[in-house]
């Protein structure tokens, strides 16, 4: 008798473990929502040794898998021609958790349908939608992708792929997690339908969510019309940039971008812009001013452009491209200057700006800006020969100014002082230039000027505090006529001493010498 019971128990255990080993091969392939009926459908794989499949559904503690309570709701004959079951009592907009089993074996791992929801995105863009869903877990062949499909409602078209996102890095096999994805830049005032598709790693299983609708509102997609209207060098240390918006299309942020300094004009496609500053949108402001202090305006042309960015629009709006006015010059001969001013304005449609913006060349004397050449157009590089202005100073400080008060950097060109004296003069001569004795000067100032002549005994016979020529003015009192106290001085050798400051106050020059008075 004991031997009989032991034999029976041994056979039962062998049968039990064999059954469990076989049932481990029983696979719930997918839980999917039918895209037409919106009913939840279960699909499983055929098993040779199973005569039926029992379906279990979670009824309590479904969000807590270890404590979840399942009850049997259906029993389906295992048939190769019948490997699915539709849950007509399931609501596809709620999560439904299922397991299947064979006979008295253990259940398969739980699976549930994906519940897709469409709500307003956090950024409140009226042409965007925030999609949310619970992860699809325990997928046959391992989950690989979520595919987001869409179509316009009422249009004669099937669902199209919007995007695919990796399926494994969001879930950690926990069906209570929520995945979010924002669909941006949809058409205005349109009803969209969305459905989610979970795909396994070998692309053999595709499980769908329910279909959701979302109606977009209006977003103004017109471009922001704007122009960089001002690029001005301030005190040779920084650059001020003004951006003017000329229409009322809103945006979120206005970015200022800059490229490295270049001495020559450059191909637009070769520029490499980087964002250096930003300002938030102000509906009451059309003019935005920036200050770029990380520059050296004496090194070349800095290229600037602006971008108007809006979170609800697909692309940013670009402004024109404009540079500072870059001025450089050199001495080309002893008393000759050459100046090369450069400026670039490029529009975003790759057309060079040909507008006739007027500029003028100014000279800075005693801190005062004096215009010397006007009506300059600097859309290309120019050469300016300014030899005719050389007499105006020993140290020349030049700058270019536009008609809207944009300034270039300043350049300084130094000249050597010049003073020439004749070695003799003849007061009774016929030529006026020979009848007086005076210095030929460059850059004299009327201030601190002193010219003194002494006879051979060191007696002062002439003194002048005004240069003989100042600008275009000829000063006869600055020339000695060879007399002292109304009487002719005797012929002979005389000495002179002269000292003066340069006309722009940049330095002082003095010298002495002798000459012959001939009678």
**52 found inside a domain:** yes
Which residue matches tokens 């500053």? 277
pTM of the model: 0.67
8-26 average pLDDT score: 43
Residue 387 phi/psi, 5-degree rounding, is: -60, -35
Domain boundary among the residues 192, 215, 238 is at: 215
Torsion from C-alpha of 59, 60, 62, 67, nearest 10 degrees? -130
The verdict on 285 and 154 lying in the same domain is no
pLDDT > 70? residue 172: no
pLDDT confidence band for 117 (50 / 70 / 90): very high
**221 found inside a domain:** no
Which of 19-28, 278-287, 372-381, 504-513 comes out lowest in average pLDDT? 19-28
DSSP state of 13: H
pLDDT > 80? residue 347: no
Average of per-residue pLDDT values in the chain: 84
What's the CA angle centered on 410, arms 409 and 413, to 5 degrees?
Answer: 145
Q: What is the tens place of the pLDDT at every residue in 214-247?
A: 999 999 989 999 999 999 999 999 999 999 999 9
The verdict on 424 and 497 lying in the same domain is yes
Which of 97-101, 124-128, 248-252, 376-380 comes out lowest in average pLDDT? 376-380
**220 found inside a domain:** no
Q: What is the tens place of the pLDDT at every residue in 269-325?
A: 678 899 999 999 999 999 999 999 999 998 888 999 999 999 999 889 999 989 898
pLDDT confidence band for 360 (50 / 70 / 90): confident
CB-based contact 517:491 (threshold 8 Å): yes
- Tell me what percent of the residues of the chain surpass a pLDDT of 70: 82
The verdict on 376 and 471 lying in the same domain is no
Tell me how far apart the alpha carbons of residues 160 and 252 are, in angstroms, rounded to a whole number: 31
The verdict on 402 and 427 lying in the same domain is no
172 backbone φψ class: left, alpha, beta (φ>0; ψ -120 to 50): left
Q: What domain count does the chain have?
A: 4
What's the CA angle centered on 218, arms 216 and 224, to 5 degrees?
Answer: 135
The verdict on 150 and 55 lying in the same domain is no
**36 found inside a domain:** yes
Q: Which residues contact 321 (CB under 8 A, 6 or more apart)?
A: 228, 268, 271, 303, 304, 305, 344, 345, 346, 347, 348
By residue range, what is the domain housing residue 285? 230-414
pLDDT > 90? residue 476: no
Q: What is the tens place of the pLDDT at every residue in 178-197?
A: 999 999 999 999 999 999 99
Residue among 302, 331, 333 at smallest CA distance from 231: 302
The verdict on 186 and 249 lying in the same domain is no
**225 found inside a domain:** no
The verdict on 125 and 90 lying in the same domain is no
CATH of the domain at 164: 2.60.40.10
The verdict on 339 and 456 lying in the same domain is no
Q: What is the tens place of the pLDDT at every residue in 394-435?
A: 677 888 888 888 999 998 877 767 788 999 999 988 887 789
The verdict on 395 and 328 lying in the same domain is yes
pLDDT of residue 439: 92
pLDDT > 60? residue 519: yes
CATH of the domain at 424: 2.60.40
Integer CA distances (angstroms), 145 to 27, 136, 170, 488, in order = 20, 10, 11, 113
The verdict on 407 and 259 lying in the same domain is yes
pLDDT of residue 368: 77
The verdict on 21 and 140 lying in the same domain is no
pLDDT > 60? residue 124: yes
**224 found inside a domain:** no
**223 found inside a domain:** no
């Amino acid at each position: 008798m004991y031997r009989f019971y032991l034999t029976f128990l041994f056979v039962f255990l062998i049968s039990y473990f064999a059954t469990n080993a076989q049932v481990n091969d029983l696979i719930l392939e997918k839980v999917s929502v039918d895209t037409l009926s919106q009913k939840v459908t279960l699909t499983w794989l055929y098993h040779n040794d199973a005569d039926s499949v029992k379906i279990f559904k979670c009824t309590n503690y479904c969000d807590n898998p270890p404590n979840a309570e399942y009850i049997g709701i259906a029993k389906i004959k295992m048939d190769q021609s019948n490997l699915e079951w539709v849950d007509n009592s399931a609501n596809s907009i709620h999560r439904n958790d299922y397991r299947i089993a064979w006979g008295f074996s253990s259940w398969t791992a739980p699976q549930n349908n994906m519940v897709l929801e469409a709500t307003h995105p956090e950024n409140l863009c009226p042409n965007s939608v925030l999609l949310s869903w619970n992860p699809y877990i325990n997928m046959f062949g391992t989950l690989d992708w979520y595919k987001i499909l869409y179509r316009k409602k009422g249009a004669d078209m099937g669902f199209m792929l919007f995007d695919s996102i990796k399926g494994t890095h969001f879930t950690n096999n926990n069906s209570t997690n929520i995945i979010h994805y924002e669909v941006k830049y949809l058409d205005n005032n349109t009803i969209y339908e969305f459905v989610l598709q979970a795909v396994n790693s070998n692309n053999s299983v595709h499980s769908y969510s329910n279909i959701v609708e979302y109606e977009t509102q209006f977003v103004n997609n017109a471009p922001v019309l704007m122009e960089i209207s001002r690029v001005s060098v301030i005190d040779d240390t920084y650059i001020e940039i003004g951006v003017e918006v000329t229409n009322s299309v809103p945006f979120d942020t206005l970015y200022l971008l800059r490229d490295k300094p270049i001495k020559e004009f450059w191909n637009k496609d070769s520029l490499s812009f980087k964002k250096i500053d930003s300002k938030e949108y102000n509906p009451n402001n059309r003019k935005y001013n920036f200050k770029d202090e990380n520059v050296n305006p004496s090194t070349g042309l800095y290229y600037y452009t602006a971008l108007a960015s809006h979170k609800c629009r697909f692309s940013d709006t670009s402004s024109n491209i404009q540079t500072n006015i870059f001025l450089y010059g050199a001495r080309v001969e002893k008393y000759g200057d050459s100046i090369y001013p450069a400026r670039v304005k490029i529009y975003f449609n790759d057309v060079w700006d040909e507008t006739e913006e007027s500029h003028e060349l100014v000279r800075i004397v005693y801190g005062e800006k004096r215009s010397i050449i006007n009506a300059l157009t600097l859309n290309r590089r120019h050469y300016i020969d300014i030899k005719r202005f050389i007499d105006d100073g020993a140290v020349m400080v030049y700058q270019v100014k536009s008609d809207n008060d944009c300034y270039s950097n300043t350049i300084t060109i130094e000249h050597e002082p010049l003073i020439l004296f004749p070695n003799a003069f003849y007061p009774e001569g016929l030529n006026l230039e020979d009848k007086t004795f005076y210095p030929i000067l460059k850059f004299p100032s009327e201030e601190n000027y002193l010219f003194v002549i002494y006879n051979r005994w060191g007696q002062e016979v002439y003194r002048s505090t005004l240069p003989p020529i100042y600008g275009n003015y000829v000063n006869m009192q600055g020339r000695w006529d060879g007399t002292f106290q109304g009487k002719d001085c005797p012929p002979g050798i005389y000495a002179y001493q002269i000292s003066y400051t340069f006309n722009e106050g940049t330095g002082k020059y003095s010298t002495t010498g002798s000459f012959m008075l001939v009678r």
